[in-house]
């Protein structure tokens, strides 16, 4: 059955936890439909961070180019606000040339920013950030996360204790503005209309053991592929510190500890996989509370056909006025 008609062109959002098969599915869809893939991943924006982010390789990118990867050096920062601005520009450009945007990733905050907009928050100040950095160096980020949990339990619940960038920002908002970030976000005005209608798909599976096995196997493959060597090379090319957002990415922060001699190979493997499992857990929590997405079993043998059907239902006018689906 066709989805409700809308004068706006469609844009598909393919969401799911890490290791759920999003990239493979997106590449398969790109072989069938005139989609352009937009990465929704806060780690893929970094140049040179390929192995630990599971960045698509050159052959895959040749078949299915991705927007919003390899944008900045690991010393720089990328925000949800910048993502929204970049994504809105791409949605308009892709639509203008007759394509269908396919947003793919697991950074749920970016999806939320695109869909709901961003609230007006107190402006970040170097002075407050420096003070929080000093406190974190002295007490550790888990202590600051515990303080955030007292001031803003809603925001703290969705952030990892070691997520220095987001914990620091949320705590800064509380301390400078007098209101919790979650309170300010709840007050945000109605979002202006997007240049497209979002067709949201959530890849889910209740077999947590299956996902954990995939996560462990993938992290082991990253180590075998040279994750530690990749980080060593990045540290030789850039002036990096362990509290930079790029170095807080799952896998890289564990590899950093290994290079510093804080942990051995066995602990590197165990802590890296455990951190990735925690990331997946947070992503699943986001998805379970997401309104408007069509949940699909990421292990379904006909998953490609199910998603293809959703594309056809939402895009039939555009597809048949421009180009028919192709491929198997």
Average pLDDT on 106-124 reads 87
* Residue 10 burial class via C-beta count within 10 angstroms: exposed 0-12, middle 13-18, buried 19 and up: buried
Average pLDDT on 11-23 reads 97
Note the residue count of the chain: 328
pLDDT, tens only, 65-110: 999 999 999 999 999 999 999 999 999 999 999 999 999 999 999 9
Q: Has residue 324 got a pLDDT over 80?
A: no
* DSSP-derived pairing of the beta strands 35-40 and 66-67: parallel
Helices 108-116 and 80-96 sit at what angle, rounded to 10 degrees? 70
Looking up tokens 């630990």, which residue turns up? 52
Distance CA 109, CA 117 (A): 11
Confidence of residue 6 (pLDDT cuts 50, 70, 90): low
**What does the angle CA 246 – CA 138 – CA 124 come to, to the nearest 5 degrees?**
55
The gap from C-alpha 263 to its chain's centroid, in whole angstroms, comes to: 27
Whole-number pLDDT of residue 120: 74
Average pLDDT on 301-320 reads 84
Looking up tokens 């170097």, which residue turns up? 126
Distance CA 121, CA 267 (A): 39
The hierarchical CATH code for the domain 10-118+189-322 is 3.40.50.300
Whole-number pLDDT of residue 190: 59
Whole-number pLDDT of residue 127: 82
Average pLDDT on 31-44 reads 97
Average pLDDT on 1-27 reads 84
Confidence of residue 3 (pLDDT cuts 50, 70, 90): very low
Confidence of residue 186 (pLDDT cuts 50, 70, 90): confident
Model pTM? 0.81
Confidence of residue 189 (pLDDT cuts 50, 70, 90): low
Whole-number pLDDT of residue 245: 93
The gap from C-alpha 213 to its chain's centroid, in whole angstroms, comes to: 21
Distance CA 57, CA 162 (A): 29
Q: For residues 184 and 287, which has the higher predicted lDDT (pLDDT)? A: 287
Q: What rounded mean pLDDT belongs to the chain?
A: 90
Question: Of 219, 256, 250, 254, which Cα lies nearest the Cα of 235?
Answer: 256
pLDDT, tens only, 153-183: 999 998 889 888 889 989 998 988 778 888 8
Confidence of residue 325 (pLDDT cuts 50, 70, 90): very low
Q: Which residues contact 256 (CB under 8 A, 6 or more apart)?
A: 231, 242, 247
Q: Has residue 14 got a pLDDT over 90?
A: yes
Confidence of residue 2 (pLDDT cuts 50, 70, 90): very low
Q: How far apart are the first and last CA of the chain?
A: 22
The sign of the dihedral angle between the CA atoms of 258, 264, 265, 267 is negative
Average pLDDT on 266-279 reads 97
| Strand ranges (E), 152-211 | 197-204
Two tokens at 222? 């990253």
Confidence of residue 220 (pLDDT cuts 50, 70, 90): very high
Q: Has residue 272 got a pLDDT over 90?
A: yes
Give percent above pLDDT 90 in the chain.
74
Two tokens at 171? 């705590």
Q: Could you count the other beta carbons within 10 Å of the beta carbon of residue 222?
A: 23
The hierarchical CATH code for the domain 126-186 is 1.10.20.140
Q: Could you count the other beta carbons within 10 Å of the beta carbon of residue 215?
A: 23
Domain extents in the chain: 10-118+189-322, 126-186
């Amino acid at each position: 059955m066709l989805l409700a008609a809308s004068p706006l062109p469609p844009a598909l959002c393919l969401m799911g936890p890490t290791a759920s098969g999003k990239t493979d599915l997106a590449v398969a869809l790109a072989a069938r439909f005139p989609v352009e893939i937009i990465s929704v991943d806060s780690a893929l924006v970094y140049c040179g961070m390929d192995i630990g982010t599971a960045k698509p390789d050159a052959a895959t990118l040749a078949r299915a180019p991705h927007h919003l990867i390899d944008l900045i050096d690991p010393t720089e920062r990328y925000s949800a606000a910048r993502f929204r601005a970049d994504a809105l520009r791409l949605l308009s450009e892709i639509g203008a040339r007759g394509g269908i945007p396919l947003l793919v990733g697991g950074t749920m905050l970016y999806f939320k920013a695109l869909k709901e907009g961003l609230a007006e928050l107190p402006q970040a100040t170097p002075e407050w950030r420096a003070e929080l950095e000093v406190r974190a160096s002295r007490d550790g980020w888990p202590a600051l996360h515990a303080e955030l949990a007292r001031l803003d339990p809603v925001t703290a619940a969705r952030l990892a204790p070691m997520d220095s960038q987001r914990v620091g920002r949320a705590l800064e908002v509380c301390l400078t503005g007098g209101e919790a970030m979650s309170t300010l976000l709840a007050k945000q005005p109605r979002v202006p209309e997007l240049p497209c209608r979002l067709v949201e798909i959530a890849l889910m599976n209740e077999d947590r053991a299956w996902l954990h096995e995939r996560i462990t196997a993938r992290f082991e493959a990253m180590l075998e592929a040279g994750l530690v060597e990749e980080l060593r090379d990045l540290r030789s090319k850039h002036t990096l510190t362990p509290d930079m957002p790029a170095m807080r990415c799952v896998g890289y922060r564990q590899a950093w500890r290994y290079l510093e001699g804080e942990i051995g190979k066995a602990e590197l493997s165990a802590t890296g996989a455990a951190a990735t499992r925690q990331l997946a857990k947070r992503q699943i929590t986001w998805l379970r509370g997401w309104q408007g997405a069509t949940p699909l079993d990421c292990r379904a043998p006909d998953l490609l056909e199910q998603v293809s059907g959703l594309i056809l239902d939402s895009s039939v006018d555009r597809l048949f006025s421009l180009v028919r689906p192709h491929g198997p």
